[in-house]
Amino acid sequence: MIYILPMLGVLLSFVFVFLTKPKKKEHFRLLLAFSGAFLLALTFFELLPEVYEHSNTKSIGIYIMLGILLQIFLEFFSKGAEHGHVHLSKTDTNFPWLLFGSLSIHSLLEGVPISESNSIIYGILIHKIAIAVILSLFLLSTKMKTITAALFIVLFSIMTPLGTYLSRSFGFILDHLVFINAIVIGVLLHISTVILFESSEGHKFNLRKLVVIVLGITIAYFI
């Protein structure tokens, strides 16, 4: 299931968008906010205690900061697609290689801690569903062929299970798993906090967003 769920979540999200062609995006923004809160809470409740328990605290801190810097670097190419901001030309028909490459690296890293944590898979799953829905909306709104958009989503869906497989199969990753998980924590901290602390549209207080954030944190605590 740790291989199937992330893949299925992405593929079904694309099918849902393709069949229903939703016009209102506000509900998906709320799902994104929920996923950010849920993922951030699981990072604090599950991943952080685990890595600090197995290594020197300052070393772990360095790798977490490297993860944050890595994600900032990846966003130069993805333009923030990992937290719901997809910037594609409406007239472009080519496969978006830079976007795919940066999202693939991000997704591969997300798959690493899944092999060690039973709970984090749910945070990754919900995050991937939210991103896949928003990504599918933008891909299908361009002049890109549907088959090209579908190919993008299929390849994207494979990356997180591939990261999980590599983390279970390669000795180098297994030997340095604590430090790689610390890098992943940095990536997840950056993504989830950007989602949570971005201003609401018009810089207005958004009660619904606050409710789903609190709900995400609460559910993560009891998992």
Residues 46-99: pLDDT tens digits? 899 888 887 778 889 999 999 999 999 988 887 777 666 666 666 667 778 888
Helix (H) or strand (E) holding 60: helix 57-78
* CB burial of residue 199 (10 Å; 0-12, 13-18, 19+): exposed
Tokens of 200: 């609401």
Contact present, 83 and 194 (Cβ < 8 Å): yes
For the chain, the structural domain boundaries read: 4-222
Which segments of the chain have a pLDDT < 70?
24-26, 82-92, 117-118, 199-205
Contacts of 184 (CB under 8 A, 6+ apart): 47, 67, 109, 110, 112, 113
